[in-house]
Chains A and B, each alone.
Chain A
């Protein structure tokens, strides 16, 4: 392959000290993600998913190993450089939406561009476009508490898209939604994937991972499987699985 991967993770470790004990939340993780891929990261709670997500999102720094995104080495960046990296390269979608409750949908979507220093007019144009692209053109001036859960997550996705980042990083994006709404959101991610966005989706639900072209399974801080979503999802599934059991995990 001649094209360089968008994300290159090599032997990444993250250790925490909890009292006397050292917890190895990530213990030597390596993988690449190419541009345009849609990758699910699955695993039980405590498997290291969230830690990996924080490292990929440049919200946290690793104890060891290396992480490159879009040609930038993340380990040696200063706080300000990390902030700029998050602003330019990453679009976050959180389980709990993380919208600013006192701001309108439009203002929420404009926020990443505010920190990029764009003029007001340009900011607004782009935010409107992003909201239109997630089907919320008519809800721009509503505040989050005037929107349904699915609409809130769409606002959050618009906010993640507005700065045209290299990577959409979604952490359990359907975790706080009912199954029908969750399905809508997953379909939206499918569309974004088709439009060429690179997506990493962290989830504990094998059913969701099965929908992704590729999935990486973590267990005890290590990669235990990396392959087509459907395969990886079934590999780690409990022997007898009913939909209820999967949802409760």
Chain B
């Protein structure tokens, strides 16, 4: 242990002797560690914020969709052949005993639009959604000003709209949007409500949307026949019953029998969280691959600098041996030096990565949270690289002949 501390002191002495060279050598390891910590902080941040958003949907909620909600590769051809989820199928679910709210929602290719008044216009980044009064409950929307549209609005075919906070801010700065007219693709709508601000997730605002009733939505965007259906069970405990009922009813309506596969997908918070975690695992694996590469590059740098260090200090090694240093002592001196060097790089990288994560959160409002295991992993793998790549130079040092070594200049 005492020998270890002495060697540690030696290692720091060497590093201080060549601060710039040490820093440049460590760049690979710094980048590797910073990548792990930074990426993992982002993934962790996303995970936390996604979980928070899903909680907003409430317990006992689930979605029926034609398209699967997965990350990564989707076999589009397979899902495109599925029949659309129609409004009628959605309406038919309302009568099920354990189904509470049914929100039938239509999107127009998911493409954002420009919304305007006579004087102002938003950027073309507003999501237009067709919905029914239940939309409010299925999407946990709180109306801050005015009201959500009602069954009466639907019945009379009212051209009304509920807008997200961003839309109200841009089109009606400093005044209430309620009662004012907005235009979507030149069709006029009356704003009846403004939603409470939700803030942003994954770096994007969650307040850039307009919901209008389904019928005017069809008129404005052209006929849309596929819908997402969000369902709330009567109580959270009835979640499974509601889901079973919905599946049975939809299979009947869509003419599926026997062992035929469902031609629709059902998602709940749990399945979405699971999907997201799957995605996070993929990102983690990719990060590890990058990190491994950076560590190998960094490790080669460490090996290089250690070989230089051994060559430069050949005489010193000879003197140490003459004064009674055992070969293993010389070996451990250089390995500890390599590990100290790479651990320092790892620490620097962790600071850099964590700093980047904090900056992402504070400056760009990108959610991030540095997980302790990522820090630990970075430091461990940096030291590992130090051992692996420091061992060869250290062996070279320990095998020197003291007489020859002392003769070198």
Contact = CB atoms under 8 A, between A and B. Distances in A.
Interface in A21-63: 54, 57, 59-60
Nearest to B14: A102
B320 A80 contact: no
B18 to A, nearest CB: 11
A79 to B, nearest CB: 6
Contacts of A159: 323
Contact of B324 (A88, A98, A102, A103): A88
B315 interface: yes
Nearest to A91: B323
B124 interface: no
Nearest to B7: A114
A189 B325 CA distance: 26
Contacts of A79: 326-327
Contacts of B13: 102-103
B406 A86 contact: no
A117 B325 CA distance: 10
B140 interface: no
Interface string A98-117: 11101100000001101111
A80 B323 contact: no
Contact of A60 (B6, B323, B327, B403): B403
B319 A83 contact: no
A59 B324 contact: no
Interface in A132-151: none
A80 B327 contact: yes
B2 A86 contact: no
Given A54-B403, A60-B403, A115 B2 contact: no
Interface string A228-246: 0000000000000000000
A141 to B, nearest CB: 15
B322 A98 contact: yes
Nearest to A163: B324
A99 B6 CA distance: 18
A100 B312 CA distance: 12
A98 B295 CA distance: 37
A83 B325 CA distance: 6
Contacts of A112: 323-324
A67 interface: no
A111 B329 CA distance: 13
Interface string B322-339: 111111110000000000
B322 A92 contact: yes
Contact of A86 (B3, B315, B316, B322): B322
Contacts of A60: 403
Interface string A56-100: 010110000000000000000001100110111000101000111
B319 to A, nearest CB: 5
A119 interface: yes
A159 B319 CA distance: 12
A59 B402 contact: yes
B142 to A, nearest CB: 67
B406 A100 contact: no
Given A102-B17, A114-B6, A59 B322 contact: yes
Nearest to A79: B327
B165 interface: no
B385 interface: no
B104 interface: no
A177 B163 CA distance: 92
Nearest to A118: B2
A109 B160 CA distance: 90
A21 B323 CA distance: 33
Given A102-B17, A114-B6, A59 B403 contact: yes
Contacts of A92: 322-323
Interface in B375-409: 402-403, 406
Contacts of B325: 83, 115
B26 interface: no
Given A79-B327, A83-B327, A119-B2, A100 B319 contact: yes
A115 B329 contact: yes
B321 interface: yes
A87 B319 contact: no
Interface in B275-321: 315-316, 318-321
Interface in B317-366: 318-329
Contacts of B322: 57, 59, 86, 92, 98
B323 A115 contact: yes
B403 A84 contact: no
B403 A98 contact: no
A117 B319 contact: no
A86 B403 CA distance: 13
A96 to B, nearest CB: 8
Contacts of B316: 100
Nearest to A81: B326
Contacts of A88: 324
Contact of A84 (B320, B326, B402, B406): B326
Given A60-B403, A100-B316, A102-B13, A117 B323 contact: no
Given A88-B324, A94-B406, 17 more contacts: A59-B321, A59-B322, A79-B326, A83-B321, A86-B323, A87-B323, A98-B315, A98-B319, A99-B319, A100-B316, A102-B17, A111-B320, A111-B323, A112-B323, A114-B6, A115-B324, A119-B2
14 contacts: A59-B321, A79-B327, A80-B326, A83-B321, A86-B323, A86-B324, A92-B322, A98-B322, A98-B406, A111-B320, A111-B323, A114-B6, A115-B329, A120-B2
